[in-house]
Structure 1
């Protein structure tokens, strides 16, 4: 690519001098100089300075734009044609003096009315233009042979100038300007018929003859043109061949196309904006459009084709970048306001992939290669981010569906639970469902719904956990009651009535602690029906055992020094007491006659030990609520005490 060079156009010297003064005064950047040039209808400002590059090139370019807008109204532009355009494209380049290529560029549009507004503010009235401007004699073409004089014409208004030649059309007259650059208005051409009549006065006839001779020459010219036209019509193919671009004479299209190409290449250097890309694309397309019509029979065809191939190759890469940016913008727009369903993220993912594919085609020889690589890194990062989004959405959706299924299973468990294990399993499934919903990250489509489900499931988990706790307590008390009853029965078998009573009491207490609204509540009631009588029986047996133990101890003490021991034995229906002869015989002799109810008493002739023995027998009988029969050592019956009668009997 041809590097930019300073302009040698002397018409820009006032603007360049104004810029030099401005830069020296403002010290915008050390050693900064500026040259102006014009290419393909664009104004180029090349700002150069020594290394290093500016820290903030964008800000410096904007300052130069502001300076341009400030200076142009005061110094103007070189050619009048610039004032006729509606808008002027201006490009500012920043370049190091030791480097061929610029390192930054800025494009803006300048409107001529900006200068008008700067000179004539909107609050001031525009200067009046006199439509009756006189035409100087030097501006008229007068045939000297006709003897005409400038003073013969006198001064007349612009409207009369438009009416002198009736062959001039309204459009031509409207486009014609005088030497001062002022256009003839359409109003000046709208003349009455009398305006075309020749004015009276001397000299008019001579001028008429001069114009007549001029008319004859024009007729001869028109005849020549007509003959040439007939020849061309007769040989249409030859005329078409000659009318194609770059067939006859030089080929300015090559140079103009090259200028457009160089402008496009310079625009793509550095970090171009979207507008810069569009501008470069338009410049390249203009260069291509200028060379495409050059026919094969042109001597410039090979050169044009060579340039055209280079231009088309560059615009292919540029089109790829522009298309990639369009795809990236579409992807970015679709990504706005997340969350989105997986299908949308997949579409965005595909758009980023397509943009990456476009950028990957840009050749290393393209001036936009560095820019494409920068965008390629950005797009790949976005592509990866969207890929993670897709994975997150898919995982969130999978976790959500699994959690919902687990929740439904937990609900069924609760409805059919008939054991502690069933309630425990239901609580575990509710917890598993909550854990699955908790894995769903914020920013996914199902996040809000998952949070609502978590609240519902937490309530169900609390209910299942509470019921599971009750059932666990009921089951524990049930098992404790059963275990205590087994221990009580074992103690009874060993005659350990104290331990038996303790275990039966534990069994009854545990059975009573089974919650009423649990599954084992009914079985707990059955246990109570069994364990309470068993406790009462054990308590009776304990009392009997205590009484017999007391009686046995006392008898042992009484019979300690007797020839035969005294014994106590428990039978099925009574307690048998066997006394030694020294106690049995005195009791038999001391028995009184029976009373009406069949009972009898002992006389007061008994000694104190015998009397004490009788009292202990009576106490033991009442304690165990059983009869106590007294026998002698030979097995002979002495007497029987019945607690229900409250006395002794002889049978």
Structure 2
């Protein structure tokens, strides 16, 4: 009874070891697919049946992995790793040179796979390798002892039900297998040790016991001195702890310093895992973790490289202004940094940090692009301003008419506007400011000349209009208004600036209008004098009775006594003859006063004066100026 109990315990332990080895192998395949650049999103499950390794790969309905890529990568991985897992995986299953790996690809939730692939495993003969263990040298014997112990640890597959791994109807091997073994596949997890077999179940233990007895002391010392040769593996445990810490650091990373810390942790993980020897029982587990962490380390190094390029870009961008070529170097750095981060998959702990940095990089790239465009546009505007200024200078040298000068002004304005649009963050700004001072001065000259031409044209038009008005007034003998109008016309001509188109036209008119003004003023003086003369004559001829009437010409003043006045004179002379000397004396005094007034008037007017009787025929007297 004691022997049966030990055998059951050994069988149970071997089953557990088989499950652990198969799980490690499955995890390695899973990690292999996820660590590829394509990041193949499939779930891997493995089971051993009739000496064949069956691998089921399932994916979500919305994922579309390439079956050829999946099967190619799995075949490479299996052919590479299967020698290290052959004994642990196939120890409880019949093995032959025709043993195969059967790979299936199925949509999660579906009953049947939609693609499959088979290939031969070419496994070694386990029985023959067991019989040769005692013929090896001492170190090799120690390794063969451990391998022999591992081969004896039988274990069943992971609990996968028949409904989860079903071949397409076109696969007769799997159909046969599923019909014969479906009940055990769904219900049995740890099959019992078979009593009947092709060879004794105790023979390997006897051989192993002999081997141990031969090398007990030296082998024991060697095993105790090697890492991970017993169940506990401190390097692997420490590596797993550091790997978890690195993942947490990456998930919470906020700065480059956090990435450096994770990089250091992952590097230490690599060193620990690489120190676990190939013949260790934990070597497969270590290799799976190593491959996963190496993938993480690769992504971390990509991010650090991107951060380095970003830092270089930031430093180069600090200098303002700089040329388009310099900005293009900054642009290249940002693009390279973005290219480093873009392939990093979402499944990595780095992904949140990467997305945050990508947003920053893309914003900075956009700003850099804007600087490049601004620099290029500034150079174009500067070139346009210079070219336009050359055109303006040429036009200015030929300008004659107001229209020409208007075109010169507009051209200078275009050049100035182009310079004013150049931002101060560009290399063209300094030169633009120097040219702006020069161009604005020339624009001012052109603007003043345009204004002068406009004013001169207006003044000439006003002068000619006023001259026409003055002539009309002269024709109406309105000499006061005519003289004033001629003065206004001359004032308009004097406002025409020298050098303008209308200046030469105004010079002859100045002489003409000046002469007309003098004539008008002379006529005005004469009119004023005649007006005063008439007033004086009206005063002299006034009275009761009215003394005289007159007619004025430029050469003669003709005064004629009124009949009433002549009658009064005759009456006075008659009275005087009659002895009325008082009336006669008064009349004589009046005649003397009239004579004196007429003489003075003739002298003042400078015009001869003649006095006639009331019939206008008899000349009574005449007066000459100064006579």
Q: Scaled by the length of structure 1, what TM-score is found?
A: 0.47
- Which has the bigger relative contact order, CA under 8 A and spacing at least 6? 2
TM-score for the superposition, normalised by structure 2? 0.48
- Structure number with higher helix proportion: 2
